[in-house]
Amino acid sequence: MQHCHRHHHRRPITAAAANFKLFINDSTMMITKLLLAFAFCRLIATVGLNMGPTAELPRLGIDGLLSVDPSDVQTASVDFGLMTRNPPLAVLHPASADDVARLIRAEAAAAEEEGEYGGFTVSARGHGHSINGQTQTGNGVVIEMNGGGRRHRRGGERSSPPQPVVSEKEKFVDVWGGELWIDVLKSTLGYGLAPRSWTDYLYLSVGGTLSNGGISGQAFNHGPQISNVHELDVVTGNGEIMKCSNQENPDLFHAVLGGLGQFGIITRARILLEPAPQRVRWIRVLYSNFEAFTRDQEWLISLHAKPENEKFDYVEGFVIVDESLINNWRSSFFSPANPVKISSFNNKPDGGVLYCLEITKNYHESASPTVDQEVEALLKELDYIPESVFTTDLAYVDFLDRVHKAELKLRSKGLWDVPHPWLNLFVPKSRIADFDRGIFKGILGNNTSGPILIYPMNKHKWDPRSSAVVPEDDVFYLVALLRSALDNGEPTQSLEYLSDQNHQILAFCAKEGIKVKQYLPHYTTEREWAEHFGEKWPEFQQRKMKFDPRHILATGQRIFRPFTTVNTAVSR
């Protein structure tokens, strides 16, 4: 093993640069990458880093591990989307917010000492569930916030990110930014408590969803996850650890929530809790008429201010343009031995499309006798296909973790680690019927390659001070096309076909003047980003200069060009 010592620069720098060269695929950027690697090794040598597969930063006081191990680099170079690949120079496994801050301050020191090629970019990665390489960086360090139970050794001591801390009295939990929501749930259930607002998939990091919004079927009632946070600890692009909330450093607090990682790395979040239910009554009903479907969905979310016994706790829905999708991967709601067939209904769908309303009622076992009455009273007001009511009952945890169970099945068949050209749109209520005619009954045809979610949310549940952007209408819909690309010889399931279809959908919306907003947005030019943020764009730019003036954070979003390096992302 070779070591980088203060008085022996030349030999280890050459070895490290050679290692980094193995990860470079774009020959036009090779010199830039090598210069960056050279400068990075200068930094490593300056602080006395041991250049093994995993290494410590003793002179910076970092308790975690800085790794150049090929397996770590490979993991950090891809994401769930599997459409981009961008290997970092190194991967940091932090043990604390101090580790994150010291790394960023080291970047500033390197930039000051080395000039143009002295700095490096920094990107936080939770569970790597981004679609278009948003958590990648080819010119710096990926911070793996999700330790996955991994503990780090420094000297003879062992350290790891802090565990969740629950305040039973005040009903909140303090969690590490890389904590997965499934682990947050496990930590709070022991106190009979749970977060109020969720995402459909729990194997996402707290910092990741709070940087985007965090939505699911509870958002109509409690708002997105960013509306259920009391307080944050954030490491800014200046290397400062700042506590922020509505009262303390509110500008940073609102900037970070929905801020796509542009202003700082969330290292702690204080999440609002509520008493956890024990059971869930899970109901699905079908519609052949889109107007009736959306009218009922909008009525259901209008009940948000009603007492618990007069509303559902979760309202979602999905579109069925392909009969097989009624038994889709999002859940095991219907038994494979008894699949539901569209042809079994007398109501033939208009344009070959059906719509499924998905609703739940939470309850405690002691209150189960009243659940039937509450559900029946609400269902009486809906205009669904009468013979299409399907009901199941399950534990609260099993409902929240429903998508993960489907994931395990897909993994066993080799159908999970495939490209995911997902497209998530917020569509204003006033244009959702036009969207239906042009997309569901038009562009998509009968081939979708994955679930299509559709459900409304109340705009007033979103704090306008946050960085997140939504349509102007008081009610807007999430339309999520969650497709998987398969290399099976079927043209309509290929990555090229599905990506082109996404472009067609966006082009249709632009042509028809449907002012959609992308959720988990992906743009490549400043003009597109300015249009996306609209009236928030000037403030977004000002906050960037305040909290990350060198533009080193979350460069995979491609919003701001870093002042130190050149983006070298490589398409799949």
Using alpha carbons, select from 275, 307, 308 the residue that is nearest to residue 195. 275
Interval 90-145: pLDDT, tens: 999 999 999 999 999 998 887 777 665 558 999 999 999 999 999 999 989 999 99
Q: Does the model's pTM come out above 0.85?
A: yes
Decide which of 182 and 18 is more confident: 182
Which of 107, 316, 374, 436 is an active site residue?
316
DSSP assignments along 159-212, one per residue:
E-PPPPEEETTTTEEEEETT-BHHHHHHHHHTTTEEES---S-S-SBHHHHHTT
pLDDT at 53 over 50: no
CB atoms under 10 Å from CB of 1, counted, come to 6
CA angle 399, 146, 464 (to 5 degrees): 70
As beta bridge partners, residue 274 has 194
Query: In whole angstroms, what is the distance from residue 161 CA to residue 144 CA?
Result: 11
220 lies in some domain = yes
pLDDT at 204 over 80: yes
Instruction: Label residue 365 exposed, middle or buried (CB < 10 Å: 0-12, 13-18, 19+).
Output: exposed
Domain shared by 420 and 301, yes or no: yes
Average pLDDT over residues 206-212: 98
Q: What 3-state class would DSSP assign to 381?
A: coil
CB atoms under 10 Å from CB of 565, counted, come to 24
- In order of 81, 108, 451, 455, the CA distances from 446 in angstroms are 23, 53, 12, 21
Domain shared by 362 and 391, yes or no: yes
2 lies in some domain = no
pLDDT at 369 over 60: yes
Query: In whole angstroms, what is the distance from residue 444 CA to residue 320 CA?
Result: 11
Decide which of 462 and 335 is more confident: 462
Domain shared by 367 and 247, yes or no: no
pLDDT at 480 over 80: yes
Which residue among 275, 304, 338 closes a domain?
A: 275
Average pLDDT over residues 157-178: 91
pLDDT at 151 over 80: no
The two beta strands, 62-67 and 90-93, are: antiparallel
- In order of 303, 359, 371, 509, the CA distances from 315 in angstroms are 11, 5, 17, 25
Phi, psi of 22 (to 5 degrees): -65, -25
The two beta strands, 54-57 and 423-428, are: unpaired
374 lies in some domain = yes
Residue 316 annotated in active site: yes
Query: In whole angstroms, what is the distance from residue 70 CA to residue 75 CA?
Result: 9
In this prediction, residue 563 has a pLDDT band, given cuts at 50, 70 and 90, of confident
User: Which residue range(s) make up the domain with 464?
Assistant: 279-518
- Is 23 in contact with 74 (CB distance < 8 Å)? no
pLDDT at 352 over 50: yes
Domain shared by 323 and 374, yes or no: yes
Average pLDDT over residues 221-231: 98
pLDDT at 335 over 60: no
In this prediction, residue 343 has a pLDDT band, given cuts at 50, 70 and 90, of low
Poorest-confidence range of 18-22, 131-135, 173-177, 315-319?
18-22
Q: Give the pLDDT of residue 571.
A: 43
- In order of 222, 323, 371, 380, the CA distances from 386 in angstroms are 30, 19, 20, 10
Q: What is the mean pLDDT of the chain?
A: 86
In this prediction, residue 31 has a pLDDT band, given cuts at 50, 70 and 90, of very low
Domain shared by 266 and 289, yes or no: no
Domain shared by 302 and 239, yes or no: no
Query: What secondary structure letter does DSSP report for 362?
Result: E
Interval 262-289: pLDDT, tens: 999 999 999 999 999 999 999 999 999 9
Query: In whole angstroms, what is the distance from residue 109 CA to residue 118 CA?
Result: 8
- Is 3 in contact with 55 (CB distance < 8 Å)? no
Residue 222 annotated in active site: no
Domain shared by 326 and 373, yes or no: yes
Q: Give the pLDDT of residue 389.
A: 94
pLDDT at 57 over 60: no
Q: Give the pLDDT of residue 109.
A: 83
pLDDT at 570 over 60: no
Instruction: Label residue 54 exposed, middle or buried (CB < 10 Å: 0-12, 13-18, 19+).
Output: middle
In this prediction, residue 344 has a pLDDT band, given cuts at 50, 70 and 90, of low
Interval 437-479: pLDDT, tens: 999 999 998 777 889 999 999 999 999 999 999 999 999 999 9
CB atoms under 10 Å from CB of 157, counted, come to 8
In this prediction, residue 47 has a pLDDT band, given cuts at 50, 70 and 90, of very low
Domain shared by 420 and 490, yes or no: yes
Query: What secondary structure letter does DSSP report for 348?
Result: P
Q: Give the pLDDT of residue 40.
A: 53
Q: Give the pLDDT of residue 340.
A: 59
- Is 374 in contact with 327 (CB distance < 8 Å)? no
pLDDT at 8 over 60: no
Which of 79, 107, 200, 548 is an active site residue?
200
pLDDT at 179 over 80: yes
Which residue among 518, 541, 557 closes a domain?
A: 518
51 lies in some domain = no
Question: The domain spanning residue 181 has which CATH number?
Answer: 3.30.465.10
Poorest-confidence range of 34-43, 74-83, 262-271?
34-43
Domain shared by 237 and 287, yes or no: no
Domain shared by 259 and 302, yes or no: no
pLDDT at 84 over 50: yes
Give the chain's end-to-end CA distance (angstroms, integer): 33
53 lies in some domain = no
Poorest-confidence range of 91-100, 219-228, 340-349, 531-540?
340-349
**Non-local CB neighbours of 184 within 8 Å, separated by 6+ positions:** 164, 173, 175, 195, 206, 271
Question: The domain spanning residue 299 has which CATH number?
Answer: 3.40.462.10
Average pLDDT over residues 161-173: 97
- Is 342 in contact with 320 (CB distance < 8 Å)? yes
38 lies in some domain = no
Q: Give the pLDDT of residue 206.
A: 98
pLDDT at 290 over 70: yes
Query: In whole angstroms, what is the distance from residue 110 CA to residue 114 CA?
Result: 6
Q: Give the pLDDT of residue 113.
A: 72
Which of 127, 129, 222, 522 is an active site residue?
129
What is the percent of the chain where pLDDT is above 90?
72
28 lies in some domain = no
Query: What secondary structure letter does DSSP report for 439?
Result: I
Q: Give the pLDDT of residue 550.
A: 94
Average pLDDT over residues 238-256: 98
In this prediction, residue 2 has a pLDDT band, given cuts at 50, 70 and 90, of very low
Average pLDDT over residues 20-46: 45
Which residue among 243, 275, 307 closes a domain?
A: 275
Classify each residue of 165-188 as buried b or exposed e, where b means 16 or more C-beta atoms within 10 Å of its C-beta: ebeeeebbbbbbbbbbbbbbbebb
Domain shared by 286 and 251, yes or no: no
Query: In whole angstroms, what is the distance from residue 235 CA to residue 241 CA?
Result: 4
Q: How many domains does the chain have?
A: 2
Query: In whole angstroms, what is the distance from residue 326 CA to residue 335 CA?
Result: 11
As beta bridge partners, residue 18 has none
Poorest-confidence range of 5-9, 152-156, 567-571?
5-9
- 61: alpha, beta or left? (left if phi > 0; alpha if psi -120 to 50): left
Poorest-confidence range of 62-66, 68-72, 131-135, 215-219?
62-66
Residue 200 annotated in active site: yes
15 lies in some domain = no
pLDDT at 490 over 60: yes
Decide which of 97 and 50 is more confident: 97
Domain shared by 260 and 290, yes or no: no
